[in-house]
Amino acid sequence: MYLKLGRIASSLGTRFLRKRLFRNGAAATNSSAREENEPTLEVKCHYTQAEINGCIFHLGDCALIRGENQKHIGRIIEFFETMDREDYFRVQWFYKPEDTVMKEEASFHDKKRIFYSSIMNDNLLACIISKLNVIQVSHQLNMNSSSIEPSDFYYDMEYCLEYSTFRNLPRGDSLEGCKLPSLSCPESILPLTSSPVAVNRTICKTYNPELTMLDIYAGCGGMSTGLCMGAKHSGINLVTRWAIDADSSACESLRLNHSNIRIMNETADDFLELLKHWERLCKKYVIEETHQPFSSPQKVSDLAEASSDAQSNSDTEGDELEVLGLVDIRYGDADGSGKEGLQFKVRWKGFGPSEDTWEPIDGLSNCQDLIQEFVINGFKKNILPLPGNVDVICGGPPCQGISGYNRFRSVDAPLTDERNRQLVVFMDIVEYLKPKFVLMENVMDILRFDKGSLGRYALSRLVHMNYQARVGIIAAGSYGLPQFRLRVFFWGALPSEELPQFPLPTHDVVVRYYPPSEFERNIVAYDEGAQPPELEDAVFLGDAISDLPAVTNYESLDAMPYSRPPETEFQKYIRSTKYDMCNSASTEEEAVLYDHRPHQLFEDDYIRVCQIPQRKGANFRDLPGVIVGDDNVVRRDLTQETVLLPSGRPMVPEYAFTFEQGKSKRPFARLWWDETMPTIVTYPNCHSQAVLHPEQDRVLSVRECARLQGFPDNYRFSGTVKKRYRQVGNAVAVPVAKALGYALGMASQRLIDKEPLLTLPPKFAYSTISVCDV
Ligand code: SAH
């Protein structure tokens, strides 16, 4: 039984409102699907209170509301009666964690935490079950349900379906004690405080405060390099201080290009252990013994310097090996015994750096002074991040367990698959260091595989750690590359910060997106149907590589001269010097072309490739003895004698006929100048991908692939040719990272509006910054 109280007779009178009607109080998670059939409710009058089952409900009260299959939580915004004498209420919904896109991956969240949303609709009054006490808590609190006053539920963040966003509550809206009917959805109000920053300019100032960054799973550094470039365009000096990667060649590449980063060749798991030990050592030696406050140390610099004081320290007596100093620290298994632990790299008296050895800390019990000295110096030089002194963590945890290219994947419990465990480790490091901002990158399968559970897990971890977060799907081609390459990015930002936006495309690329329907609202693009803005023309293969000198399948030089000047805007930009691009200290012109050598095809494949005509669309179907049926399926022409290679194997190999049920045109396919590649992968396999140069009989060189990923020509790669391709193919395309870096820089300065997407400044893709220091 219910009674209406406090009728508002004259203020609104009879009005017609177009309302969403969800009988039985079905929450609005799938609201958009129903908008088409919204009935029009003819409202007779409004009320300020209602008595339901003996309990008086006021406007602004929260209630448990009956849904189709479950109960929901909402705030009552209006009570009204229709001309048909039906009693309704308008409700603004809250989301329980598992009602959001996190779904069952939110199972470890506090059951009392719910999320504010601006989604509202109308329901029959009979759906109200009971009153609930829901309170807003300050996002600054380190929340757990015991630290807040008793309530049924609490909320500190808003959830929006666009880009699966969790963010601070809208400002300027008290959200509580709302006693008057609200006839429109309250929008979050955040003034746009600045217009975009101009590019191609000379900035005669030192940059805004430095932001420090840790790049985990850094690879050759595509992501952090681009982020720093982009942040500089927003006026922020984002500096990669530390980078870790388990692969030694990737670390070598990082060293080749970045002299100021502390690069650690270790696994992320060991790195996390190292961080924990390091904090303990700093507490022990820096705070307890020197009584120094545990405040942010100063600048990172190389370890040799950090340990230099130690070198003058000890005298040798007798023949015993004597420790001269400690020069590095790591966590791991020193002697391969399987026993993990903290280790120091020891410089022995009378020996040089090449004879340094890793020694477990247990064996250095006589060297307490040296350990103390190392820790105090290391703390001062900031050789390792401590909780709270990293501003940004970026990383692309590897995902071999889910990659679409990998057939051996664990479908039932993807997170227990060792190959996906790095997602957990990445989040554990974030949890430990608590950076202001997080950016995680991954392949599309993170949203596809096992109904997107890995992506949901990543988001859930961020939100659980009290980060604001959002998820976007980005196509590299949209930022000025001849490559589609879809990737997923997760932003995280502490509640004290602004949540970065996603950068809208700058280039006109038609991308074939096939995200799972649930993640369609995560695509970073202009609205279809909306007036498209002036975008730059798409960049094609020719724009990117036509100026490079011809090389053969057998090219083995790592460095060579350019044979001609750049021909396109892309080529001019990609050849610009480090100094132009990112205000690095180097000013010398780089006139040498590096890494322009291809993976060498074996004899059989080389002969086959030489037979593929140099024209658009050419592939193995152009070889002798292939028939293409009406159904587009290829088969061998049995009327002709099979053409054999000198090795005795057939000119057209068997796998070309069976690949993708004979329908593929990719085996031995040439690219063409006016084309966009799907994705640069980690190995240029001409048996299954279109990777042949348009007019030369070889696969694309490492440099050509690097250009398609937007690496500037001065960015070099280390390791075998195969490893270099891997580093390039694994990387976040530099222009994408640059665009994201701009968004990060703007957010860190609070120069953003409430929209999830941001427009990049004009000509951003080819913009460079020259800096004259003051
Ligand atoms: N973000 C990088 C690419 C990362 S690819 C860029 O933009 O260039 C993933 C990287 O993770 C690879 O370089 C691989 O060597 C590294 N990796 C794989 N397993 C790892 C582990 N357990 N710990 C640290 N690095 C790991």
Asked if residue 268 has its Cβ within 6 Å of ligand 1, the reply is: yes
Backbone phi and psi for residue 122, each to the nearest 5 degrees, phi listed first: -110, 145
Average pLDDT over residues 706-715: 97
Pocket test residue of 247, 264, 267 for ligand 1, highest count of atoms within 8 A of CB? 247
Asked if residue 250 has its Cβ within 6 Å of ligand 1, the reply is: yes
- Comparing 312 with 60, which gets the higher pLDDT? 60
Q: Judge whether residue 188 has pLDDT over 50.
A: no
Do the bridges between strand 502-503 and strand 757-758 make them parallel or antiparallel, or are there none, so unpaired? parallel
Q: Judge whether residue 170 has pLDDT over 70.
A: yes
Give the distance (Å) from ligand 1 centre to CA of residue 259. Answer: 20
Give the integer Cα–Cα distance in Å for 677 and 361. Answer: 51
Asked if residue 422 has its Cβ within 6 Å of ligand 1, the reply is: yes
Alpha-helical runs (H) found in 307-355: 308-311
Q: How confident is the model at residue 413 (pLDDT cuts 50, 70, 90)?
A: low
Which letter, b or e, does each residue of 624-646 get, where b requires 16 or more Cβ atoms within 10 Å of its Cβ?
A: ebbeeeeeeebeeeeeeeeeeee
Q: Judge whether residue 185 has pLDDT over 70.
A: no
Instruction: Please give the helix or strand (H or E) that residue 269 lies within, else none.
Output: helix 268-281
Give residue 33's pLDDT.
35
pLDDT tens digits, 557-609: 999 999 999 999 999 999 987 656 655 554 445 579 999 999 999 999 999 99
Give the amino acid at 259. Answer: S
Asked if residue 245 has its Cβ within 6 Å of ligand 1, the reply is: yes
Closest C-alpha among 133, 118, 116 to residue 168: 116
Give the integer Cα–Cα distance in Å for 251 and 245. Answer: 6
Asked if residue 544 has its Cβ within 6 Å of ligand 1, the reply is: no
Give residue 288's pLDDT.
74
Give the distance (Å) from ligand 1 centre to CA of residue 367. Answer: 35
Residue nearest atom 12 of ligand 1, based on CA coordinates: 219
Closest C-alpha among 519, 361, 390 to residue 449: 519
Instruction: Please give the helix or strand (H or E) that residue 73 lies within, else none.
Output: strand 71-82
Residue 762 CA: distances (Å) to CA of 489, 533, 535, 536? 23, 12, 9, 10
Q: Judge whether residue 722 has pLDDT over 80.
A: yes
**Ligand 1: nearest atom to the Cα of 270:** 23
Report CA dihedral (226, 230, 236, 242) to the nearest 10 degrees.
-10
Which position among 399, 582, 686, 705 bears the catalytic label?
A: 399
Residue nearest atom 15 of ligand 1, based on CA coordinates: 247
Average pLDDT over residues 742-759: 96
Q: What is the DSSP string of 526-564?
A: PPTTS----PEEPP-HHHHHTTSPP--TT---SEEE-SS
Give the distance (Å) from ligand 1 centre to CA of residue 422. Answer: 9
By the 10 Å C-beta count (0-12 exposed, 13-18 middle, 19+ buried), 362 is classed as exposed
Give the integer Cα–Cα distance in Å for 93 and 26. Answer: 10
Residue nearest atom 6 of ligand 1, based on CA coordinates: 731
Give the distance (Å) from ligand 1 centre to CA of residue 2. Answer: 61
Give residue 624's pLDDT.
94
**Ligand 1: nearest atom to the Cα of 247:** 15
DSSP 260: S
Average pLDDT over residues 433-443: 97
Give the three-class secondary structure for 598. coil
pTM given for the model: 0.88
Pocket test residue of 213, 215, 217, 252 for ligand 1, highest count of atoms within 8 A of CB? 217
Give residue 514's pLDDT.
75
Give the distance (Å) from ligand 1 centre to CA of residue 685. Answer: 21
Residue nearest atom 11 of ligand 1, based on CA coordinates: 217
Asked if residue 398 has its Cβ within 6 Å of ligand 1, the reply is: yes
Residue nearest atom 22 of ligand 1, based on CA coordinates: 267
Give the three-class secondary structure for 22. coil
Closest C-alpha among 459, 396, 395, 399 to residue 433: 395
Give the distance (Å) from ligand 1 centre to CA of residue 419. Answer: 12
Give residue 38's pLDDT.
54
Give residue 53's pLDDT.
87
Asked if residue 247 has its Cβ within 6 Å of ligand 1, the reply is: yes
Average pLDDT over residues 249-266: 97
**Ligand 1: nearest atom to the Cα of 225:** 7
* Residue 531 contacts residue 501 (beta carbons within 8 Å): no
Q: How confident is the model at residue 403 (pLDDT cuts 50, 70, 90)?
A: low
Asked if residue 731 has its Cβ within 6 Å of ligand 1, the reply is: yes
Closest C-alpha among 393, 454, 673 to residue 543: 673
**Ligand 1: nearest atom to the Cα of 398:** 9
Percentage of the chain surpassing pLDDT 70? 79
Closest C-alpha among 222, 712, 162, 241 to residue 441: 222
Give the integer Cα–Cα distance in Å for 570 and 543. Answer: 6
Asked if residue 396 has its Cβ within 6 Å of ligand 1, the reply is: yes
Per-residue tokens: 454: 């890995």
Asked if residue 222 has its Cβ within 6 Å of ligand 1, the reply is: yes
* Residue 634 contacts residue 652 (beta carbons within 8 Å): no
Instruction: Outline where DSSP puts E strands in 444-516.
Output: 468-475, 486-493, 502-503, 507-508
Give residue 15's pLDDT.
27
Give the integer Cα–Cα distance in Å for 697 and 551. Answer: 9
Residues ≥6 apart with Cβ < 8 Å to 91: 25, 63, 65, 74, 75, 76, 77, 120, 121, 122, 123
Give the integer Cα–Cα distance in Å for 427 and 504. Answer: 27
**Ligand 1: nearest atom to the Cα of 217:** 11
Give the distance (Å) from ligand 1 centre to CA of residue 365. Answer: 35
Instruction: Please give the helix or strand (H or E) that residue 233 lies within, else none.
Output: helix 222-233
Give the distance (Å) from ligand 1 centre to CA of residue 233. Answer: 27
399 is catalytic: yes
Residue 353 CA: distances (Å) to CA of 289, 323, 384, 471? 30, 12, 21, 46
Q: Judge whether residue 672 has pLDDT over 70.
A: yes
**Ligand 1: nearest atom to the Cα of 396:** 1
Residues ≥6 apart with Cβ < 8 Å to 145: 110, 112, 113, 154
Closest C-alpha among 559, 505, 496, 495 to residue 527: 505
Q: Judge whether residue 4 has pLDDT over 50.
A: no
Give the distance (Å) from ligand 1 centre to CA of residue 399. Answer: 9
Give the integer Cα–Cα distance in Å for 729 and 222. Answer: 10
User: 136 pairs with which residues across the strands?
Assistant: 155
Asked if residue 246 has its Cβ within 6 Å of ligand 1, the reply is: yes
Percentage of the chain surpassing pLDDT 90? 71
- Comparing 584 with 309, which gets the higher pLDDT? 584
* Residue 353 contacts residue 347 (beta carbons within 8 Å): yes
Q: Judge whether residue 551 has pLDDT over 90.
A: yes
DSSP 446: H
Average pLDDT over residues 694-708: 98
Q: What share of the chain is helix, strand, coil (3-state, %, to 5)?
A: 30, 25, 45
Average pLDDT over residues 518-544: 88
Give residue 527's pLDDT.
80
Give the distance (Å) from ligand 1 centre to CA of residue 174. Answer: 45
